[in-house]
Structures are given as C-alpha cells and as structure tokens.
Structure 1
C-alpha cells in the first residue's frame, strides 16, 4: 500500500494498521527513523488488530466506497463510516453533517444495511460495547 501525500492523506484504520505492520516488519526504507515510535506502533497495532478493520481488505474497502456513491457523502464522512462502522441511525446522523437536509430516513436505514453487508463486523467488539452500556445503566 502506498500513501501518495504523507502529510495530507486521510487514512482509514485499515490503512494505518497495514502501514504500521509494514514498518514493524521492516518493509519501510526509513526503518531507522521509526525506531523511536516502536512502542507506539506496537500499541496501535495491538488495538487495531482487535477491531473490525483487521478483517477489511482493499477489495472490501473499494466495494464499500462504490456502494456509498449514490449518497453524495464527503470523503471525510465515508472515512468515518469505514472507521466507526455506525450501527444506529443516530450514529449516522452524528457523522453526516446536516444529515436532516441531505438524507431521508429511508436512506439512513439503507446506509445501515450497506454497512452490515459490505463491512465485516466484529461481534466481540459489539458485545463489549453492549456490556459497557449495561454497566453504565446499572450504575445510574
């Protein structure tokens, strides 16, 4: 994978994971420059490998981006969809700026279906979030 403009690129979690794994394996020509970030890279890789992005691939991402084209979302919104994988209409409304004017209720539910169809999920991540939500409710 190649980042074209390193200082201005928006990267998905999948791309960050792949880039850091390449650095860690020594596939990056500037490895000596990166020795100071070895610990940070390791921690980020450990985190991202336990999220849904570890199950993504360039093909999955490409197909997902093509499926989003009819919705006229910005690049940043598409990236947030890819990274955050919203599961509710409220989450979509928080990601899409001026969503009330730009998306109908039907389109929001279509987007939820697209997310479920095109992006591999992480059931353990969802279960963990649900458990955390239950603990918050129990504490109140």
Structure 2
C-alpha cells in the first residue's frame, strides 16, 4: 500500500495497520539504519500493537472483506462515509452497537435495513470466509486505491437535510414560545 496524496481519503484501522506493518518491515529489512525519530518508531509500534490486538475486528478483516462490505452497503444511501468507516472499524455485532455508530438510526433506517446491515457486517467482516468474490465488479487491482473515497457531496447533502430539519423544528418551537408569551402578556 502506498500513500499517493496525503489527507485525500479516510483510512480504516485495517489500512492503517497494513501501512504500519509495511513501514515496520521496510525499516527492519533496511541494510542501513534510517534516520527516523525514536518517538515516531515508538508511536508506530504501539499503534500497530493496539490495532493487532485480538479484541479489535482489525485482525479478522481483509481488504477483500472490506470491499465486499462497502459494496453491499451501497443500497443504504442514508449512511454517511464516516458512518461506513466506523462500521468497518468497529464491526458491530448487535443493534445496540449500530446505534452508537449511526446517528438517528431509527429515523433513517427501517428495522429490516438495520438487521440487513448487521448481517452484512457479520458475513463480510467477522467471517473468515469473507474472501468471497468482490461484488459490483471491484477487483483486487484497486489495492492501492483508498477504500473510502471522498463523498463530500453525499455528506453535504445529508448535512443539508439535517440542517433543514433542525431549522423546521426550531421554527415550530419559536412560534409556540411566541404564542405562550402573547398569552402571558394578555
């Protein structure tokens, strides 16, 4: 994995773990010592140790499994890019865990959608047999592409909808407060 343009896409824990593993391998394989800070090496090592701990789903994930998950989450347009990233990183197994990840879950998704997402996560990220063929024509030739493309338009659209909803709610509250004040003045 190679970082072509820094800060152009979000990285999942799996991608960070892979990148740090490759950097560590390159550092260990280098014939001459590289001029890297001891603090930087310490941070890289500790981060890698954390990401490879068995309590995180990162150890059970694969690039193919993540690609399959993202392809299968396409029918859920209300999920933002950040929420999809958190689903990959946390691999929720229960509805309660999904509530923590997806804002206003009940308002945005039906019970069938919620159950489908939990099932998709289970079959693509938690199952060792997740290395099934990739859906929607995504191939392994895209290995150097970030798994999370920049969907600013999608996120902006969702944020506009949330802002409009809040504006409507605030307008309703304002009218009620105005009526209450008028009644007190009389």
TM-score, normalising length: structure 2: 0.58
CA pair 67-94 structure 1, distance change in 2 beyond 3 A: same
* Rg larger for: 2
State the aligned residue count.
120
**Residue 71 (str. 1) matches residue 76 (str. 2):** yes
Gaps of 5+ in 1: 123-140
CA pair 34-4 structure 1, distance change in 2 beyond 3 A: farther
- 1:47 Cα deviation from its structure 2 partner: 1.6
More helix by share: 1
Higher-RCO chain (CA-CA 8 Å, sequence separation at least 6)? 2
Q: Which runs of 4+ in 1 moved over 2 A?
A: 2-5, 31-36
Moved more, 53-62 or 69-78: 53-62
- 1:90 Cα deviation from its structure 2 partner: 2.1
**Residue 97 (str. 1) matches residue 100 (str. 2):** no
RMSD: 2.3
Please give the alpha-carbon distance, in whole angstroms, between the structure 1 residues aligned to 2:97 and 2:62: 24
TM-score, normalising length: structure 1: 0.75
Please give the alpha-carbon distance, in whole angstroms, between the structure 1 residues aligned to 2:95 and 2:7: 33
